[in-house]
Amino acid sequence: MKLKSIYLTQFFFLLMGIVVVLFATSFAVPFLFFWGKVGLLAVVGIAILDGLIVFMNKKPIHFQRKIEERLNLGDSNEVELLVENLLSQPISFRLIEGYPVELQERSKEYSALLSANSSKKFSYNFTPTRRGEYEFQDVFFIISSVFRLVSRRIELSAKQTIRVYPSVKQMKKYELMVFQQQKTSSGIKKIRRLGNNSEFEQIRNYIQGDELKTVNWKATSRGRDLMVNQYQEEKSQHIYCIIDKSRTMQVEFDNLSMLDYSINSALVFSNITLKKGDKTGVITFSDKIGSQLAAEKVNGQLRRIMELLYNQKTHYREANFELLFESIRKTIKTRSMLILYTNFETEFAMRRALPILRKINQKHVLVVVFFKNNELEEMAYQPVKTTRDIYKTVVSEKMVSVKSRIAQELSQNGIHTILTRPEELSINSINKYLELKAKGAI
């Protein structure tokens, strides 16, 4: 149908050209005057017919946008556009999508030729870089028939509000990594249990990956299968994700701020701890205490955590660690694991907070998580060609080494530390949790 319409259009423009030539030469050649009038009337008639085809139906086209009502922060989400021709004649169209203003998309359009009563699908990927609500606007169509003499502009109502939540895709991905048998290839470390922080649960068949020391030789000798003792980890321990919302968390890597990385990781981490049978809660703070959710293991706790994290925003002020300590002292009475997502850019900033962190660590198991700067690391190890490059490399190396010294000093003060790239935050947090759990440190 598309090929035929192209031929028809080319033929029509050729016919128009012939009519124009005939009409122009008819004044010099009287014989051609009659054919010139016939041609002109034919063009006018086709234009009227074209207008009737385009305008005779109040709603010549149907549009539908298919997108999930809840999207995942930082993940690619597909948007599908369905266009249906409601006329009994073929039409061509240009579609201008009502993109959310955050996409800053102005030039991209979709066009096609639809035969009678047929439909066409378009799709594009939408990767949200902030949490909250996104507003899709109405769409515009410019339609015409195969003759393309008359065009009609149509605005169709297609406003749609969608919400962007911390990434559920990442949460499910890491859940699969932790609870499958072969974990090492996915980045989850296999941690050997130390001490007596687990109790006997049952005897079961050996599965590849089980430790040989758990083999129950008496039970194995009674049958033909290898049997092992299964131990149950200590459960119902209190775990809190504490998220710093101060100005230092606004730095962005790959279009996501460190606060967004922390929120995504907190959701992933909370899901794992709840699946492991522990009680999980969340605290946010900046210059003042923000949202608080007590550690629980009840149904719906993960949904409450997601709703709490959904609309958290950075406060452009300094973090008040003294206020955080007072809040923890009053609200968290049981020894707990506290995983603190924050960021220290200088040793001075860390040393100012260090006395408070040491006090928190005396009553709880504190894990401080802060970020490596990917761009600085790349700059520190790039090839040097000019004097300017030398200066950049030296400064970058000094700033990278500052982060390492901060992590080392925190460790020397007995505080567990995770210095990580933003994209490795979730996996490193889970590994630290599994390590502390295996050691019975919580």
Which band of pLDDT confidence, cut at 50, 70 and 90, is reported for residue 382? confident
On whether the pTM is more than 0.75, the answer is no
Lowest mean pLDDT segment, chosen from 43-57, 130-144, 224-238, 419-433: 43-57
* 326-335 pLDDT tens trace: 999 999 988 9
Task: Determine the pLDDT at residue 358.
Answer: 95
CB 318 within 8 A of CB 247: yes
Only one residue has tokens 């597909």, namely 78
**The residue type at 33:** F
* 339-380 pLDDT tens trace: 999 999 889 999 999 999 999 999 999 999 998 877 777 776
* 312-328 pLDDT tens trace: 888 888 899 999 999 99
* Token pair listed for 262: 């922390």
Q: Domains of the chain: which residue ranges?
A: 2-55, 61-165, 168-197+234-439, 204-230
Does residue 67 have a pLDDT over 60? yes
Give the residue-averaged pLDDT of 45-66.
Answer: 77
Enter the CATH code of domain 168-197+234-439.
Answer: 3.40.50.410
* 30-39 pLDDT tens trace: 555 555 556 5
Strands 91-96 and 139-144: antiparallel
Task: Determine the pLDDT at residue 4.
Answer: 39
* Token pair listed for 110: 């979709």
Residues contacting 402, CB < 8 A, separation 6+: 345, 346, 347
Task: Determine the pLDDT at residue 6.
Answer: 39
Which band of pLDDT confidence, cut at 50, 70 and 90, is reported for residue 164? confident
Map residue 232 onto helix, strand or coil.
strand
Beta strands in 148-296 (DSSP E): 151-156, 160-165, 198-205, 227-233, 238-244, 252-253, 256-257, 279-285, 289-296
Which band of pLDDT confidence, cut at 50, 70 and 90, is reported for residue 214? confident
Backbone phi, psi, residue 419, to 5°:
-105, 115
Does residue 10 have a pLDDT over 60? no
Percent of the chain with pLDDT over 70: 79
In 3D space, the residue among 260, 304, 316, 261 whose CA is nearest the CA of residue 280 turns out to be 304
Selecting from 1.10.287.180, 3.50.50.60, 3.30.70.100, 2.60.40.10, what CATH number does the domain 61-165 have?
2.60.40.10
In 3D space, the residue among 136, 117, 61 whose CA is nearest the CA of residue 94 turns out to be 61
Measure the CA–CA gap between 403 and 418, rounded to whole angstroms: 11
